[in-house]
Amino acid sequence: MKAQITAFGEPATLTDELLQEGQSAPQVKVVQNNYQDLIIGGAKDKPQLILTVPTLDGDVCPKEIEQFDEVLHDLSGKIYTFVVSMDLPHAQRRYCVIYDIQNLQILSDFRHREMRKYGVLIADGILQGLLARAAFVIDTKGKITYVQLVKEQTDEPDYDAVRRAVEAVLATT
């Protein structure tokens, strides 16, 4: 069943089924801020945290990214942390410079073809075509160990729950 969310109190549906804990994390090709492709998801030498956000240019996203940059600072060498939005790569590069983002890699799915595999593309409503605010923790074998979908897109995620999930996957690595 496709997940339901709200954005500014208005209902919206995701285009595909949201991936769940225990499922394999698909490899997806996203774009770095230099317009070079990068494959995330799947098996890697370190666990991954994939955060999806509607846009960097909003009220909540800067708070979320700054908070995760701070909360995960001490784990930066132990885990890959990716933030994916639909923003253009050059706008993301400017954002990283302005906000001095150090521990997160900001990536784009502006071609609208990859992150729907995670079930986070918004199908309708005022944020149609953007990504829902979500977090996926993935172990080194490519299995999803934690999923958090923020039901109201103007709310921040539960940072502590994500941090605990990251620590749990690191404890088993």
Q: Is 137 left (phi over 0), alpha (psi -120 to 50) or beta?
A: beta
Q: Which of 7, 30, 56, 61 is catalytic?
A: 61
Instruction: Classify residue 4: in a domain, yes or no.
Output: no
Whole-structure pTM value: 0.96
Instruction: Classify residue 2: in a domain, yes or no.
Output: no
Domain of 78, CATH number, reads 3.40.30.10
Instruction: Classify residue 121: in a domain, yes or no.
Output: yes
Burial (CB count <10 Å: 0-12, 13-18, 19+), residue 121? buried
Reported as a single tens digit per residue, the pLDDT across 64-91 is 999 998 888 899 899 999 999 999 999 9
CB 19 within 8 A of CB 136: yes
Instruction: Classify residue 63: in a domain, yes or no.
Output: yes
Whether 61 sits among the annotated catalytic residues: the reply is yes
Instruction: Classify residue 89: in a domain, yes or no.
Output: yes
CB 157 within 8 A of CB 45: no
> In the numeric block, which tokens belong to residue 162?
């994500």
Instruction: Classify residue 87: in a domain, yes or no.
Output: yes
Report how far Cα 9 is from the mean position of its chain's Cα atoms: 21
Reported as a single tens digit per residue, the pLDDT across 9-29 is 999 999 999 999 999 999 999
CB atoms under 10 Å from CB of 163, counted, come to 16
- How many structural domains are present in the chain? 1
Average pLDDT over residues 117-128: 96
Instruction: Classify residue 1: in a domain, yes or no.
Output: no
- The residue segments making up the domain with residue 164 are 10-171
